[in-house]
Amino acid sequence: MAKIKAEYIWIDGHRPTSKLRSKTKIINGPIRELTQIPEWGFDGSSTMQAEGHDSDRSLHPVAFVPDPIRRGDHILVMNEVRYPDGKPHESNKRDHLVAVSDQHQAQEAWFGIEQEYTFFQGRSPLGWPDGGYPAPQGPFYCGVGADEVFGRDIVEEHLEACLYAGIGISGVNAEVMPGQWEFQIGPLGPLEIADQLWLARWLLYRIAEEYGVNASIHPKPVKGDWNGAGAHTNFSTKAMRETGGFAVVEAACKKLGQRHAEHIAVYGAHNEERLTGLHETCSIHEYRYGVSDRGASVRIPLITAKAGKGYLEDRRPSANMDPYEVCAVLMETVCS
């Protein structure tokens, strides 16, 4: 038995977009399973999760990974926020996803999320001239060279950290707007992907902090003729992945069109600034799907059309979406 540092991470009640919070607890380790990690608490009045008095809220551990920053036996712990009596707090969107994923377990839903984000130093995106603009978009997407790429050291360190933590990260790339990047997680089941995306976001903020850089997930970090930041959510069920799956993918695309408003409602705040119909998006007021169409709301990847089975890409979720809500609504619409 030795003392270890457990970083308890949770999602606050900030509106319209929740933020991450964390604090350290010294516990007995090493930790082998979740049940060894004690529940903890915090002051909800400082996180928009309580009014003044009676503000104790509890942290209920739901997942843990090795801590890639402190290393050794230290861990990161993802938590749900609950009232002291165990009832889930209104800001806790995970509780609902647990119910939805239990209900549809037989369909074996997989998710792959592309998290776009933008590095900021002070008020400008990283690498941008102070108060000015870089050259127009064009050469930056998947670019190389000091004139095109800004923040690669942070991206590499974040990638290493995710791998160390056992997060199912599947790739990274530089994006269309300079200073903007993407990492992908998955494919994984609904709870795994959502817990791991939040942990990967926390690691990104934490690592960028060392460089004096802030990672923003605002859907339109720079107004004007610059790409916004999304969180394309790739989705499949077992039936979509098997022979004859293309028809199931198409049926899902049609179902998604019938509940466009319900989806947009949980696809992230300020998403209307990004879903304009320009910059590889479809207008927020329209719903369209198509094979290989990056101007559609939902794209059927060419490899899915060619193979006759596979997955669909919902391009509507914005970078600041809550994956607990996005995974839940996708399963509710497609799996029901």
- Picked from ligand ADP, Mn ion, none, the partner binding residue 112 (CB below 5 to 8 A depending on kind) is ligand ADP
Angle of the 323-335 helix axis to the 245-258 helix axis, nearest 10: 110
Q: Dihedral sign, CA of 157, 62, 198, 252?
A: positive
Q: Which residues bind ligand ADP (CB under 6 A)?
A: 110-112, 114, 170, 184, 186-187, 232, 234-236, 241, 310-311, 313
Q: Which residue bears the tokens 């049940």? A: 35
The radius of gyration computed from the CA coordinates of the chain, to the nearest angstrom, equals: 20
Do 159 and 165 form a contact (C-beta atoms < 8 A)? no
Q: Which is nearer to ligand ADP, 81 or 97 (CB)?
A: 97
Helix axes 323-335, 190-210, angle to 10 degrees: 160
Which one, 186 or 190, has the nearer CB to ligand ADP? 186
Nearer to ligand ADP, 113 or 215 (CB): 113
Q: Which residue is nearest to ligand ADP (CB)?
A: 112
Query: Taking CB within 5 to 8 Å according to partner kind, which of Mn ion, ligand ADP, none is near residue 120?
Result: none
CA angle 224/227/11 to nearest 5° reads 110
Look at residue 241 and give the partner it binds from Mn ion, ligand ADP, none, a contact being a CB closer than 5 to 8 Å depending on partner kind: ligand ADP
| Contact assessment for residue 226 and residue 218, using Cβ atoms and an 8 Å cutoff | no
Nearer to ligand ADP, 121 or 236 (CB): 236
| Shortest distance in whole angstroms from residue 237 CB to ligand ADP | 9
**Minimum separation from the CB atom of position 188 to ligand ADP (A):** 8
Name the site residues for Mn ion (rule: CB under 5 A): 114, 182, 232
* d(C-alpha 290, C-alpha 272), whole Å: 21
Q: Which helix (H) or strand (E) holds 60?
A: strand 56-66
Q: Which does 245 bind (CB under 5 to 8 A by kind): ligand ADP, Mn ion, none?
A: none
Two tokens, residue 228: 């916004």
Contact partner at residue 310 from ligand ADP, Mn ion, none, CB < 5 to 8 Å by partner kind: ligand ADP
